């Protein structure tokens, strides 16, 4: 056997060993994970990391965890779910593969977002409403005097009036997920579309509850 014939298999073995060694150093303990998509049912850093006290960041985290929750419940990879949902034909194919209807697929996504809120809440990762309030008030387009009144509400009162977990749960329940999906045609838009929808619904929920606490005369001036 020639020296070249021996050297090539040896080089391949050395390269394979180096790749496996690099994967082990990166924290992997199952070689099969290199070959496939991440397990959506496994705990991920997206739950463990604290969430910035901004409604956009919070909505984005709910969506990321919600997609994992949905994929786990359906028994598919998160990547497969994200690619299939925005395109009607792909969504229909995935639903048929899972033996469910497209409407059921949409309901599964909505349920997954709800479970994401529960999961983040249990982990203590939801910021308090009072921490979110300054950015929210800035987005509500209230007159200056109304902003001053809202800002004057004590943090403890804000947190009791609009606790973050229940607010997000109601926001998710208000979503028309099927209509949102029908308006998509690009998988790159899915996460941002869901984030914006959750953010807007939560903002409306908080706005309504805060305005309810303002004096009736002030609400009248605001046309509420």
Q: Would the pLDDT of 9 be above 70?
A: no
User: For residue range 24-57, what is the model confidence (pLDDT) as tens digits?
Assistant: 333 343 333 334 567 888 766 667 777 888 899 9
- Asked if 175 and 201 touch (Cβ cutoff 8 Å), the reply is yes
Q: How much is the average pLDDT of 139-144?
A: 69
Identify the pLDDT of residue 224.
Answer: 56
Least confident of 2-11, 102-111, 169-178, 184-193: 2-11
Mean pLDDT of the chain: 78
Cα 101 to Cα 93: distance, rounded to the nearest angstrom: 10
Q: What is the pLDDT of residue 17?
A: 36
This prediction has a pTM of 0.75
- Give dist(CA 92, CA 100) in Å, integer: 9
Instruction: Please report which helix (H) or strand (E) contains residue 190, including its range.
Output: helix 190-213
Name the most confidently modeled range: 68-72, 126-130, 159-163, 212-216: 68-72
- Which residue carries 């869901």 as its tokens? 194
For 67-117, the DSSP string reads HHHHHHHHTS-HHHHHHHTTSHHHHHHHHHHHT--HHHHHHHHHHHHHHHH
> Where are the domains positioned within the chain?
1-36, 37-221
Is pLDDT of 140 > 70? Answer: no
pLDDT at 114: 96
Of 35-49, 67-81, 82-96, 119-133, which range is least confident?
35-49
In angstroms, the CA 118 to CA 30 distance is: 29
Percent with pLDDT over 90 in the chain: 44
Integer Cα distance of 161 and 213 in angstroms = 9
Taking each helix axis from N to C end, the angle separating 102-122 and 164-173, rounded to the nearest 10 degrees, works out to 180
Q: What is the mean pLDDT of residues 160-172?
A: 92
């Amino acid at each position: 056997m020639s020296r070249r014939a021996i050297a090539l298999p040896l080089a391949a073995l050395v390269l394979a060993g180096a790749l496996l060694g690099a994967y082990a150093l990166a924290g992997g303990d199952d070689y099969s994970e290199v070959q496939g998509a991440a397990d959506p049912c496994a705990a991920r850093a997206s739950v463990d990391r604290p969430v910035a006290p901004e409604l956009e960041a919070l909505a984005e985290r709910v969506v990321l965890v919600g997609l994992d929750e949905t994929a786990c419940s359906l028994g598919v990879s998160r990547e497969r779910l994200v690619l299939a949902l925005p395109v009607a034909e792909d969504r229909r194919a995935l639903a048929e593969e899972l033996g469910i209807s497209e409407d059921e697929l949409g309901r599964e996504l909505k349920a997954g977002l709800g479970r994401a809120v529960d999961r983040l809440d249990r982990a203590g990762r939801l910021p308090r409403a009072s921490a979110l309030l300054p950015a929210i008030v800035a987005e509500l387009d209230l007159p200056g005097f109304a902003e001053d009144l809202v800002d004057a509400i004590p943090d403890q009162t804000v947190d009791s009036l609009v606790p973050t977990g229940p607010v997000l749960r109601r926001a998710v329940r208000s979503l028309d997920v099927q209509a949102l999906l029908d308006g998509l045609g690009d998988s790159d838009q899915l996460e941002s579309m869901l984030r914006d929808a959750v953010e807007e619904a939560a903002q409306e929920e908080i706005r309504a509850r805060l305005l309810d606490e303002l004096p009736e005369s002030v609400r009248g001036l605001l046309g509420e």
